[in-house]
Amino acid sequence: MPAHFMSNAQIAQVFFNIADMLEIKGENRFRVLAYRRAAEQIVQHPVAFVDLWESDPKSLEEIPGIGETISAKIDELLRTGKLQFYEDLQLEIPASVVALVKVPGIGPKTAKLLYQELGITSLGDLRDAAEAGKIRSLPGMSAKTETNVLKGLDTLARLSGRIPLRLALPTANALLEGLRKSPLVLQAEAAGSLRRRRITVGDIDLLVASQDPVAVIEYFTLLPQVSQVESKGETKTTVLLHTGLTADLIVLPPTSYGALLQHFTGSKDHNVELRELARNKGLSLSERGFTDEKGQLHPCATEQEVYSRLGLDFIPPELREGRGEIEAAAHHRLPHLVTLQDVRGDLQMHSTWSDGAKSVAEMAQAALAKGYAYIAITDHSQGLGVANGLTPERLDAQRAEIDALNKELAPFRILAGCEVDIHADGSLDLPDETLAKLDIVLVSIHSAMKQSREAMTERVIRALGNRHVDIFAHPSARLVGEREAVDWDFPQILRAAQQHGVMLEMNADPHRLDLDGEAARLAIQAGLTLTFGTDAHDPAGLDNMSFGIDQAHRGWVEPQHVFNTRPLEQILAHLQARR
């Protein structure tokens, strides 16, 4: 049966819309919740549903939150390209009405009211009605509601899209620094998706332990970064920053700080699972702690207390995505995550030979200062003209320079490598005899990124089949917040890499983070070895390794899954055996 290709995000969008429409209709809230949970499962699933469905349509039902009904709807979508149930719903609730609930402050009830009473079906209608003062005539609405609707429309326009981690982190750190200057602040941390180190974050969640929450909130709203106070209560406030980001601050006494930190680190899925577990034990879990059946509160000062009370090992924040970590923690089977200290060398960086800012010697000195035992210099290949890519002849000349440096710096070792372009047809940008002379060969995609799924998959498989290739670098070619990942059949790519003994890079450049944690987890499950590379173009870039480690944590990666946690002799033995 022919598949109508849809990405997971596209499929999920259908179910998010269905959930919104059912909610606007006033359907049973748990039915609505079920559709929304299914949509969330779909959008965050690391493998394309099309691929799962093609191999076995029934396999979809094994995914939590997806049962018989929703699985059948996905089947219809992928088989026919449409969904009758969804089309019928759209006759009742125009799709454009669904857009109204995206406006902060407007939920399904208000959207329904606006649609039924005023015939509002678009954001444009909404703005017109608010500006014309028509909304105040509705029950429960006032002139103030109209002001808030207009503010909500502005916020929506400004906040469409998440913020890359690399931008959110410094903002959060600056706010924390400001908070910690107050003697009222006993503890302060950033939580939310930022603490889980997601690649992008929606807003900044800050938590504080203090005996005087009201005063801390007042102090916070007066920090110089704050441009506008959106809401302000006795324990929490939401502010708009001059940078355009939104920040939430929640303040509780130190006795509850652990529960607070746990609660607002999330993820939502993780917390839902955790609270279900608590319920099964006759407890209710909130951001203040556990409440027992007698209604007695047992606050938690540390996160450890929250987990141990539930019989769980401590779960690192990066793992808290509701993907099996709670079960693993219950059975003492959490991974022993790789750390920055485990990494013995950096396997991707550039020098002035191509588009780097510093010489090979300067990069090597910087790496030595970081305590590394080895690095790979991996300048671009000739085809990447804009980056001053290297020809076979220039690679020979660079090799001479590297050999000389190695004599000088021993036992530190510089591997002579290259980041070789994969052409659109899957051939490589340098001849085999040149590749054979290198210590280490990385391949990557820098062009023709819009190829069809089939073409891209074939292209990469062909490239990985070249016996000189050691590492597939920044595999998806995504740039966070700027460029989508290439489209391909990832499970097939993993099989090809496995078959040819090619390793996949976890590129630690915060613009890339590629593989990301989710993909890395799939890769190690497929039996692949990973490598860390910062892709540094100057010595400061070497510091980005921690971004890669964060993603590795999200991928449940342990030291033995990573090539460059091994000592130099083992690295060399492996590479030489492939030459």
Both tokens of residue 281? 């034990």
How far, rounded to the nearest angstrom, does the alpha carbon of residue 303 sit from its chain's CA centroid? 23
Per rule CB under 7 A, is residue 4 in the interface with DNA? no
Residues 6 or more apart whose Cβ sits within 8 Å of residue 170: none
The beta strands (E) that lie in 261-348 are given as 284-286, 289-291, 297-299, 345-346
Where does this chain touch DNA (CB under 7 A) — which range of 119-127, 138-146, 179-187, 379-387? 138-146
Can you tell me which of 7, 13, 44, 104 binds DNA, judged by CB under 7 A? 104
Supply angle C-alpha 358, 530, 420, rounded to 5: 50
Can you tell me which of 200, 286, 304, 352 binds DNA, judged by CB under 7 A? 286
Which positions from 245 through 264 interact with DNA, judged by CB under 7 A? Answer: 248, 264
Map residues 15-44 to x or -, x wherever contact with DNA holds by CB under 7 A: -------------x-xx-xxx--x------
Where does this chain touch DNA (CB under 7 A) — which range of 44-52, 133-141, 316-324, 341-349? 133-141
Contacts 24+ apart (CB under 8 A), 147-156: 148/105, 149/103, 149/105, 149/106, 151/105, 152/103, 152/104, 152/105, 152/106, 153/103, 153/123, 153/126, 153/127, 155/104, 155/240, 156/102, 156/103, 156/104, 156/123
Min. distance of Cβ 145 from DNA in angstroms? 5
Torsion angle of the four alpha carbons 112, 114, 116, 118, in this order, in degrees rounded to the nearest 10? -170
d(CA 337, CA 386): 38
Per rule CB under 7 A, is residue 166 in the interface with DNA? no
Per rule CB under 7 A, is residue 81 in the interface with DNA? no
**CA distance readout (Å), 176 to 191, 206, 218, 234:** 11, 8, 15, 20
Pairing of strands 345-346, 374-377: parallel
Where does this chain touch DNA (CB under 7 A) — which range of 89-97, 171-179, 273-281, 376-384? 273-281
Where does this chain touch DNA (CB under 7 A) — which range of 45-53, 124-132, 272-280, 417-425? 272-280
Per rule CB under 7 A, is residue 108 in the interface with DNA? yes
Can you tell me which of 13, 200, 221, 235 binds DNA, judged by CB under 7 A? 235
Where does this chain touch DNA (CB under 7 A) — which range of 45-53, 96-104, 218-226, 330-338? 96-104
- Tell me whether residue 233 or residue 431 sits nearer to DNA (CB atom): 233
Min. distance of Cβ 69 from DNA in angstroms? 3
CB 304 within 8 A of CB 506: no
Max Cα distance, the chain (Å): 83
Min. distance of Cβ 569 from DNA in angstroms? 46
d(CA 381, CA 466): 16
Place of tokens 């699972």: 273
Place of tokens 């125009």: 94
Gyration radius of the chain over CA positions: 27
Can you tell me which of 11, 42, 101, 301 binds DNA, judged by CB under 7 A? 101
- DSSP H helical segments within 60-197, as ranges? 68-80, 84-92, 95-98, 108-118, 123-131, 143-159, 165-180, 192-195
Where does this chain touch DNA (CB under 7 A) — which range of 42-50, 103-111, 538-546, 563-571? 103-111
Can you tell me which of 2, 88, 119, 140 binds DNA, judged by CB under 7 A? 140
Per rule CB under 7 A, is residue 268 in the interface with DNA? yes
- Tell me whether residue 273 or residue 346 sits nearer to DNA (CB atom): 273
Min. distance of Cβ 285 from DNA in angstroms? 6
Min. distance of Cβ 568 from DNA in angstroms? 46
Which residues form the interface with DNA (CB under 7 A)?
28, 30-31, 33-35, 38, 61, 64-71, 101, 103-111, 139-145, 148, 192, 203, 205, 231-236, 248, 264, 268, 271-272, 275-276, 278-280, 284-288, 291
